[in-house]
Amino acid sequence: MQLQQTLKKCYSFEGKGLHTGRVAKMTIKPAPADTGIRFRRTDIGEDAYVPALAENVSCTARSTTISCGQASVSTIEHVMSALTGMGVDNAVIDIDNIEVPILDGSAKPYIDAIWHDGFLQQDAPRRYVELTETVEIRNDEKGSVVRLEPAEEFSYNIKVDFNSRVLGVQNAQWDSSVVYPEEIGICRTFVFFHEIEFLYKNNLVKGGDVDNAIVIVEHPVTEEQVNRMSQLFNVPALTVREDGYLSNLVLRFPNECARHKLLDLIGDLRLCGGFLKAKVTAEKAGHGINTAAAKAVRATL
């Protein structure tokens, strides 16, 4: 029998939010058995809790936001994914602003802080989310699908296709044979070069920079455009590599972008309320369809 577990101690993180640019301090704390994952907006009040459940999803525009009453917390997917991938059943996450810090754009900072300390086992059996029927959500306009089938063991498979000459078609998977902290959790978010100016003009990715995102250069760009990007992010001498990525980073895996989409999917589907026993298959997935699938699972329970 698998027992529930929580953290051995508190872990604090501080940084700017990817979309708002606001600096937040966030502390992940141990919690009693059967707590699940709960956020608390400490700047609003001691009781400003937001349970991390699909029915509390309030926005999925380029990240996942959950809300309860006056309290909202955005861009929760990376920390939710980290706790799931490391096997944490119960935690309270205190945060003093609306958006979770983006840190390096992956779940690696959480893994680096928590993983090697181990976890505290609790005197209660793990509560699995077990399906009695197949759940499938489709978006035919985007060609997206998330399908969850009943299974004895969990498995996640994702296919990523942005019609990109740089990315091509990428696949990634997670099951019990894959070490999440080493093979998925360290994979960073990404953005296309041609999207960045649009995102800034529309009040998004105010906290984005080349330290917390992989920048993909899909279309030919001028030296002037690259120089402007260098000035925007205050990073000297940026260039475009032959493989279509900005020169400031080295990919952690050839399919790092697909692995990051898998990271997101794991975090979003944790909003089902626990650890899934399901075969998950996703194609062209994003936060909207991921959380819609989590809501559909919740509706069957």
Query: Rounded distance, CA 249 to CA 211, Å?
Result: 8
Q: If we measure between CA atoms, which residue out of 185, 146, 190, 191 comes closest to residue 263?
A: 185
The residues carrying an active-site annotation are 287
Strands 49-51 and 190-192: unpaired
Q: If we measure between CA atoms, which residue out of 114, 81, 84, 106 comes closest to residue 12?
A: 114
Locate all alpha helices (DSSP H) within the chain, ordered by sequence: 77-85, 108-114, 180-183, 193-201, 223-233, 256-269, 287-300
Q: If we measure between CA atoms, which residue out of 192, 191, 248, 198 comes closest to residue 221?
A: 192
- For residue 113, the Cα-to-chain-centroid distance in whole angstroms is 17
Amino acid letter at 12? Answer: S
283 DSSP β-pair partners: 145, 159
> How big is the CA angle at 123 (ends 118 and 124), to the nearest 5 degrees?
105
